[in-house]
Amino acid sequence: MPIYRLLQNTSFDRELIEMLTLVFEDISRELGLAAIEDALRDTLARAIIQCAEQGLRDPLEIRRCAYGVLKPA
């Protein structure tokens, strides 16, 4: 899964990494992306990390933020 690879380069603590991974897995399942590797999963992983880098720590806020990043303009 792409989020594991991307989280290796962050300074997030273990608990936050676990939570971000769960959010990533949940959204991947919701979007039907759980069993595939593609650019959308990479984009989702980056969006979740970007939201956490903005200081968000609540899983629901991170989900909303990530969906906002994924939503077409």
| Domain boundaries of the chain, sorted by first residue | 2-70
The 10 Å Cβ neighbour count of residue 71 is: 7
Residue 16 pLDDT: 97
pLDDT along the chain (73 residues), means of 10: 83 96 94 80 94 97 94 70
Residue 1 pLDDT: 52
Cα angle: 32, vertex 33, 36; to 5 degrees = 135
From residue 55, alpha-carbon distances to 28, 34, 37, 52, 73 in Å are 22, 26, 27, 5, 23
pTM (whole model) above 0.85: yes
Residue 35 pLDDT: 72
Residue 47 pLDDT: 96
Q: How many residues does the chain have?
A: 73
Residue 71 pLDDT: 82
